[in-house]
């Protein structure tokens, strides 16, 4: 492997080494300073390259690919504000522990801070959000240079996929010539280990649970009859955790993106149940085992106060405790640890504790279904419930921030065969379309999304991918013409400026947006039409939008009626 000039040498070596490490997807936003990277990425057959004009969309596309594929994805851009547009996705990758390798092209030092075009300070641009920052240095033709580049690429890969996984930032200045034409010296030999091996490989970094950790948790689980598993967004093997709940006869209160809302112990309607003060008071647990980042249900957050003994198990020992009430954090893979604990437990055959939760959940579920099925009107809760119910086994369901993720949490019945994902690290409504399309590109599973109209519009540029890549995804868009969530918040009591400041109606025709980008669009006018619309959209292929129009005020009223119906069913 040889290169004609230093810039080409650096880019080609880095890309080769990243492919050796295991990178299979890269996303590139166009520019000139990044030309060496662009050409190296395009020239490497091990890497699928996706080119996206808008850097914010590009970085969220990379994020989606990395979330779905669970391995580092490269995202590269030119110098200047282009690099700043990656910041939201870098933050989401940081907080959701998603491996990303961000490579920003830069001007060489002599052009910085001089008024040179497209030159900003890119050093440590993303602050503490990255696991590793490296100023790669202006490429040169010393024979040792490729060894440094290879080692750095391996380190970037290892840091991105380490414990905790996350984004890394390589800032790479390039001097002209930027394209493969002869430079000053002789062509440079780029080296590399034999047989396509990486220069330095790093072993798995997430440690197996210790004996002491297993024993400590097993003891507390064994001592607690009134225990609960509470699960928030995470990416773990759900089976051993569910097995533990089953053996201990404990209810499982799981957000859909935990993968744990499955099996007989899963309680779907916990949000409504815990709204009921009597129920919450009667059903206080004596121990809670927590995994993942919970926090969608306010009633659950209130319920999990400091008086409830709680242990969080997290692979990286992350401090996921906004209520400041957890009394122990165990740094271990939750699946491995729970598997061991389940084996060590004697098991409980009958448990009035579990049956009381299950009975309440059944009554609550029936009350909710009765109300939602009383007529055929489209509603936000019913859309969430029915979407989760009707998706085929093996599907991805990507859920947007704001009410979609909350409605899914409140109304999705337990089931297996669905992988639920979302941007739950920073809860942004940005980058949603691109995240979904990244997930669709990275898996062979049919991909569906539940979006609000503003999340859809926020990343409307993400839809540009529909014309440039053969990607299939179905967006179910709940269009309430603005931010429906704000109608649930105290600012709704101040009607004067509410619409302008919070509701933000836009009146945009989503069908026209779909047409602009060559996407399909259909409307569902009656709730019962959704299943049919889903299979039609999936069969159509490409990027499809299914729009359901709702009313924000009516939505609040319905949510209140649902909480009331559950309370009546419990009393």
Ligand X SMILES: Cc1ncc(C[n+]2csc(CCOP(=O)(O)OP(=O)(O)O)c2C)c(N)n1
Interface residues toward Mg ion, by CB under 5 A: 452-453, 480, 484
> Residue 123 corresponds to which tokens in the numbers above?
């050093």
Of the CA atoms within 13 Å of residue 153, those in its CB half-sphere come to: 26
Which residue of the chain is nearest Mg ion when measured via CB?
452
Interacting residues of 452 by C-beta distance below 8 A, sequence separation 6+: 400, 402, 403, 404, 429, 477, 478, 480, 483, 484
Between β-strands 188-189 and 2-3, what pairing exists: parallel, antiparallel or unpaired?
antiparallel
CA distance 265 to 511: 42
Torsion sign across C-alpha atoms 104, 110, 111, 115: positive
Contacts of 148 (CB under 8 A, 6+ apart): none
The least distance separating Mg ion from the CB of residue 306, rounded to whole angstroms, comes to 35
Nearer to ligand X, 292 or 404 (CB): 404
Tell me how far, at minimum, the Cβ of 403 lies from Mg ion, in Å: 7
Closer Cβ to ligand X, 6 or 64, answer by number: 64
Question: Which of residues 430, 464, 521, 546 is near ligand X by CB under 6 A?
Answer: 430
Write the DSSP assignment of 356-413 as a string of letters: HHHHHHHHHHHHHHHHHTSS-B--HHHHHHHHHHHSPTTEEEEE-TTHHHHHHHHHPP
Angle at 55 between CA 51 and CA 60, to 5 degrees: 85
Residues with Cβ within 8 Å of residue 321, at least 6 apart in sequence:
312, 329
Contact partner, 249, from Mg ion, ligand X, none, Cβ < 5-8 Å per class: none
Residue 429 in contact with ligand X, rule: CB under 6 A:
yes
Assess contact for 239 and 381: CB atoms under 8 A: no
DSSP class of 184: S
The region of 109-117, 328-336, 370-378, 421-429 touching ligand X under the rule CB under 6 A is 421-429
Q: Which of the choices Mg ion, ligand X, none does residue 55 contact, using the CB cut-off of 5 to 8 A by kind? A: none
Instruction: For ligand X, give the closer residue by CB, 11 or 510.
Output: 510
Q: Per-residue contact track with ligand X, 348 to 387, x per CB under 6 A?
A: ----------------------------------------
Shortest gap between Cβ of 54 and ligand X (angstroms)? 15
Q: Does 459 bind ligand X (CB under 6 A)?
A: no
401 makes contact, choosing from Mg ion, ligand X, none, with CB < 5 to 8 Å by partner type, with ligand X
Structure tokens at 276: 């009921």
- The reply on whether position 330 binds ligand X by CB under 6 A is no
Q: How far is the CB of 192 from ligand X (least distance, A)?
A: 41
The single residue among 90, 454, 562, 567 that binds ligand X, judged by CB under 6 A, is 454
Does the protein bind ligand X through residue 428 (CB under 6 A)? yes
Beta carbon nearer to Mg ion, 24 or 491: 491
Least Å distance between CB 422 and Mg ion?
16
Q: Does 427 bind ligand X (CB under 6 A)?
A: yes
- The site map against ligand X for 478-507 (x = CB under 6 A) is --x--xxx----------------------
User: Could you tell me the smallest distance in angstroms from the CB atom of residue 551 to Mg ion?
Assistant: 11
Q: Smallest distance from the beta carbon of 514 to Mg ion, in angstroms?
A: 17
Q: How far is the CB of 506 from ligand X (least distance, A)?
A: 9
Of the candidates 27, 49, 65, the residue with the CA atom closest to the CA atom of residue 441: 65
Asked if residue 422 binds ligand X (CB under 6 A), the reply is no
Using the minimum distance from each CB to Mg ion, give the nearer residue, 242 or 478.
478
Residue 189 has φ and ψ, to the nearest 5°, of -80, 125
Selected from 171, 351, 410, 455, the binder of ligand X by CB under 6 A is: 455
Residue 427 binds which of Mg ion, ligand X, none (CB < 5-8 A, kind-dependent):
ligand X
**Which residue in 402, 423, 435, 461 binds ligand X (CB under 6 A)?**
402
In sequence order, what are the beta bridge partners of 293? 233
Q: Does 403 contact ligand X by CB under 6 A?
A: yes
Largest CA distance in the chain: 84
The residues pairing with 548 across neighbouring beta strands, listed in sequence order, are 478
The tokens 């509603």 sit on which residue? 379
Cβ atoms 8, 15 nearer than 8 A: no
Nearer to ligand X, 40 or 429 (CB): 429
Q: Left (φ > 0), alpha (ψ -120 to 50) or beta: where does 454 sit?
A: alpha
- C-beta separation of 213 from 344 below 8 A: no
- How many residues in the shown chain lie near ligand X by CB under 6 A? 17
Query: Using the rule CB under 6 A, which residue among 401, 423, 434, 544 binds ligand X?
Result: 401
The answer, yes or no, to whether the previous bond of 164 is cis (omega within 30 of 0) is: yes
Task: Select the binding partner of residue 262 from Mg ion, ligand X, none (C-beta < 5 to 8 A, by kind).
Answer: none
- Pick the closer one to ligand X by CB: 1 or 489: 489
* Site residues, ligand X (CB under 6 A): 400-404, 427-430, 452-455, 480, 483-485
């Amino acid at each position: 492997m040889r290169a004609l000039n230093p810039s080409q040498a650096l880019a080609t070596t880095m890309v080769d080494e990243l492919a050796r490490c295991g990178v299979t997807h890269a996303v590139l936003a166009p520019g000139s300073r990044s030309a060496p990277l662009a050409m190296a990425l395009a020239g490497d057959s091990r890497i699928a390259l996706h080119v996206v004009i808008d850097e914010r969309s590009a970085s969220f596309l990379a994020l989606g690919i990395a979330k779905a594929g669970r391995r580092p994805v490269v995202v590269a851009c030119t110098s200047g504000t282009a690099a700043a547009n990656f910041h939201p996705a870098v933050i989401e990758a940081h907080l959701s522990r998603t491996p990303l390798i961000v490579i920003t092209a830069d001007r060489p030092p002599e052009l910085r801070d001089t008024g040179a075009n497209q030159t900003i300070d890119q050093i440590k641009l993303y602050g503490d959000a990255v696991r590793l920052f490296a100023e790669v240095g202006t490429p040169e033709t010393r024979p040792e240079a490729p060894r440094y580049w290879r080692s750095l690429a391996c380190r970037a890969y290892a840091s991105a996929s380490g414990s905790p996984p996350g984004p890394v930032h390589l800032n790479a200045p390039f001097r002209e010539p930027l394209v493969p034409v002869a430079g000053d010296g002789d062509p440079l030999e780029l080296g590399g280990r034999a047989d396509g091996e990486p220069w330095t490989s790093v072993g798995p970094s997430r440690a197996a649970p210790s004996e002491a950790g297993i024993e400590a948790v097993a003891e507390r689980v064994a001592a607690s009859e009134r225990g609960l598993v509470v699960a928030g967004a995470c990416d773990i093997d759900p089976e051993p955790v569910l097995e533990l709940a089953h053996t201990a006869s404990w209810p499982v209160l799981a957000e859909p993106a935990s993968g744990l809302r499955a099996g007989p112990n899963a309680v779907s309607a916990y949000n409504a149940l815990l709204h009921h003060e009597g129920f919450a008071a009667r059903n206080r647990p004596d121990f809670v085992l927590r995994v993942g980042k919970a926090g969608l249900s306010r009633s659950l957050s209130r319920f999990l106060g400091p008086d409830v003994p709680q242990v969080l198990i997290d692979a990286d020992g992350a401090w996921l405790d906004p209520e400041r009430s957890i009394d122990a954090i165990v740094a271990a893979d939750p699946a491995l640890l729970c598997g061991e604990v389940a084996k060590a437990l004697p098991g409980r055959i009958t448990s009035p504790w579990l049956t009381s939760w299950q009975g309440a959940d059944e009554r609550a579920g029936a009350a909710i279904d009765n109300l939602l099925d009383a007529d055929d009107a489209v509603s936000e809760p019913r859309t969430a419930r029915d979407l989760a119910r009707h998706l085929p086994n093996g599907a991805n369901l990507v859920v947007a921030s704001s009410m979609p993720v909350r409605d899914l949490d409140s109304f999705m019945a337990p089931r297996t065969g669905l992988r639920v994902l979302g941007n739950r690290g920073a809860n942004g409504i940005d980058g949603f379309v691109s995240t979904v399309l990244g997930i669709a590109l990275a898996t062979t599973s049919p991909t569906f999304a539940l979006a609000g109209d503003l999340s859809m519009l926020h990343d409307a540029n993400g839809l540009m991918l529909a014309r440039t890549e053969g990607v299939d995804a179905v967006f179910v868009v709940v269009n309430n013409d603005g931010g429906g969530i704000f109608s649930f918040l105290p600012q709704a009591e101040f009607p004067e400026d509410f619409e302008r400041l919070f509701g933000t109606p836009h009146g945009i025709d989503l069908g026209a947006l779909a047409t602009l980008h060559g996407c399909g669009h259909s409307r569902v006018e009656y709730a019962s039409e959704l299943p049919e619309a889903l299979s039609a959209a999936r069969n159509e292929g490409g990027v499809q939008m299914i729009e359901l129009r709702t009313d924000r005020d009516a939505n609040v009223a319905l949510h209140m009626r649902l909480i009331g119906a559950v309370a009546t069913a419990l009393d």
